[in-house]
Each structure stands twice: as C-alpha cells, then as structure tokens.
C-alpha cells in the first residue's frame, strides 16, 4: 500500500510541516494500492478489486463510504453505463453487505476511487473534528504554530532557521495527545479568535476545533485524552468540554463574533485618578489598524464597543482594569491610544500616557 505521506518522518526530512499540511489537505487521495488489469471486465476482476478495497479498509476506520470509478479513457459511454451496474454498483453492494458499511455520497468517512488508467484503488479519508475549550497559562506559548512569514516554515535567516517564532503552542500540545490517539498524520487547530502569545487565556477557556488529518481511527476516549493533556501540560495549558463535531462547526466557530472580558495591568507616566474613568458605561471606540500589525492588516478604521467593568488602584501610577469588549477590539491600543489611532483610550480619558503591561482573557462570551 502506498501513502501520499509515505513515512511521515521520512517526508518531514524533505518537507517542513507547513508544506506537509498543504500537501495532505490538497491531495485528491491519501492511500492507494495497485491492481493488475489486462482490459477484461469479469467476475475475477470484480473480486480482485473488492480484495484491494478490503486491504485498504484494514488500515482505516470508517462507517460510511463513497465509491467512484475512473474508467479507461478510450471506453465508450454506452459501455461505461453497463459496467457501472456490473462492477461499480455490485462493489458498493458488496462493501455494504460484507464490510457492514453505509454508502454516503455527500459526506463519507472514506472516499474510494478505482482508477483503471493508473491501475490503482485509492482512498481519501475525511478528517475527524473535535471541539473543546483551551486555557493557556504561560506568556511564552502561542495559540498555533507561528510560522515565519518570509519562508512559510521552511527555515531562513529571518527566523534563524527555525521556520517559526515560538517553540511551543497550544496546537502542538493538543497534537501530541490527539494525533497518536486517532492515528492521524497531522492536526490543525481552529480557534474562536486568538490571543497574543503574551496574553493568558483563563476562565473556562477559548472555544476551538481540532482537525485531525488522515485519521486511521474515528473515535477515541475523549475523557482520557483530556486527563492526559491536563496532566502532561499542567501549568502551561488545559483543555475541557471535548466532543466529536463536524467540519460544519468550523466556519461558525471562526466567523461568529465573540465579546470578551479582559483583565489588564496598566502603568501610567503620572499619578492617576480612576474617578475620571466612565465605569460601566458603554464606550464607542474607533480604532485604526494598530501600528504593531499594520504590515499584515489592511489600514482601516473599525468601530468597537468597550465597557470598563471595574478599575482598581495598586499604586498611584499602576492599576488593574476589567474590560468587556466587542469582537476584534485591540485592547492594548485601547489602553495606550496608539499615538491617537484609537479614540477614546484610557490614555485620553485619564490624561496620562498609559501602557498595558500584562493582559489576560478572563472569558470568551458565547
């Protein structure tokens, strides 16, 4: 049997992980097995093809399937129609009866193709999706692998040959537990937004969907995976509320707006009177694209809503804010003002130059 990834470890010697992700996601099929074909369509051929499908089936778990056929290029349409009944339909029925699988032409777990031109039986495996929430307790851990934007993960002078800018990420942690459990090749983490690497994700966590590519297993003990993760990465990250979901859950997760509650430690360049802040009043805030991200984001003005829930002094020039913000608010810039690109800001409201020294996400609101 041949795999598009061959040996994953051998492939990684040639392809960095970013390229490998693209290769797997864009591949028409994942595994293949050859068969002999001399141009004769008979019962022996049908039995041979079924044996090849069984061989591929032993490598993967699936409940539903689809079976397509790429007939010889020179074959007439009338002959194809006849063979669809004697070969294709017969094989579908045999897979259903003998392997106890369900045919599903819309969203199958396994998509088989018999290619008479290449003399291959191929299969593409549908990804497994697991939803949950994660918390992040370190300011040196990213949400996902932060690939270098110059070499796209290959390794260059800019990233000092690393291919990325952080050594650890929540995505990598989840992959270490989930990939072997599902017999997958790779994992991609889809999050409901993201926090900066130096921002903690607390409370009940940020919603995510983990996509497992080329899974040989479609199920795992999620309770056990959660416990294993939380023990292994204690003090760095935790996960909760795991459940199997589908690809249909990814877009709503990524596209739906989520308000957030933050805690921010703020420092000012002079003494502050917190009574100048409008506590529990909804502020309409206008933000031009922040200076720190303007190279990779369109320079637009965005209208956001921010409510200062609570303000507490620590010293005359240091205080803690609790903020409720609308989706996509740049909180650090709401505090500093970003040189006037965010209005109003904590700096403009207090008349002092303020900076956010520490920031935590307390809640991602549903």
User: What residues are annotated to the active site?
Assistant: 196
CB atoms within 10 A of CB 208: 26
Q: How many angstroms separate the Cα of 61 from the Cα of each of 47, 121, 130, 217? A: 22, 17, 16, 5
Contact indicator for 215, 109 with CB cutoff of 8 Å = no
Query: Across-strand partners of 2?
Result: 32
Beta strands in the chain (DSSP E): 2-3, 31-34, 64-70, 102-103, 110-115, 120-125, 128-136, 186-191, 199-213, 237-245, 260-268, 282-288, 301-315, 318-325, 342-343, 354-364
Sheet containing 110-115: which strands, arranged edge to edge? Answer: 2-3, 31-34, 120-125, 110-115, 64-70, 102-103
């Amino acid at each position: 049997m041949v795999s598009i990834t061959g040996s994953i470890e051998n492939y990684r010697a040639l392809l960095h992980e970013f390229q490998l992700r693209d290769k797997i996601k864009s591949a028409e099929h994942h595994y293949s097995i050859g068969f002999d074909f001399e141009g004769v369509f008979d019962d022996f051929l049908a039995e041979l093809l079924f044996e090849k499908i069984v061989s591929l089936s032993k490598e993967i778990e699936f409940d539903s399937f689809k079976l397509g056929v790429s007939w010889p290029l020179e074959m007439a349409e009338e002959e194809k129609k006849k063979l669809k009944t004697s070969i294709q339909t017969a094989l579908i029925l045999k897979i259903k009866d003998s392997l106890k699988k369900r045919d599903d032409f819309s969203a199958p777990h396994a998509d088989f193709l018999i290619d008479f031109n290449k003399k291959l039986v191929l299969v593409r495996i549908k990804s497994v999706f697991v939803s949950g929430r994660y918390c992040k307790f370190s300011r040196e851990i990213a949400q996902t692998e932060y690939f270098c934007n110059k070499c796209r993960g290959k390794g260059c002078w800019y990233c000092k040959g690393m291919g990325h800018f952080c050594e650890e990420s929540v995505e990598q942690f989840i992959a270490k537990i989930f990939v072997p459990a599902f017999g997958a090749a790779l994992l991609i983490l889809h999050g409901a937004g993201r926090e900066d690497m130096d921002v903690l994700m607390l409370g009940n966590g940020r919603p995510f969907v983990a996509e497992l590519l080329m899974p040989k297993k479609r199920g795992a003990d999620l309770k056990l995976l959660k416990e294993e993760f939380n023990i292994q990465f204690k003090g760095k990250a935790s996960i909760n509320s795991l459940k199997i979901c589908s690809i249909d859950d990814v877009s709503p997760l990524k596209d739906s707006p989520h308000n957030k509650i933050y805690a921010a430690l703020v420092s000012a360049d002079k003494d502050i009177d917190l009574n100048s802040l409008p506590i529990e009043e909804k502020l309409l805030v206008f933000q031009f694209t922040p200076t720190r991200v303007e190279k990779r984001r369109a320079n637009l003005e965005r209208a956001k809503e921010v409510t200062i829930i609570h303000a507490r002094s620590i010293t005359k020039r240091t205080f803690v804010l609790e903020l409720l913000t609308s989706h996509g608010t740049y909180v650090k810039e709401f505090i500093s003002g970003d040189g006037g690109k965010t209005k109003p800001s904590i700096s403009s409201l207090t008349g002092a130059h303020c900076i956010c020294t520490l920031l935590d996400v307390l809640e991602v609101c549903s």
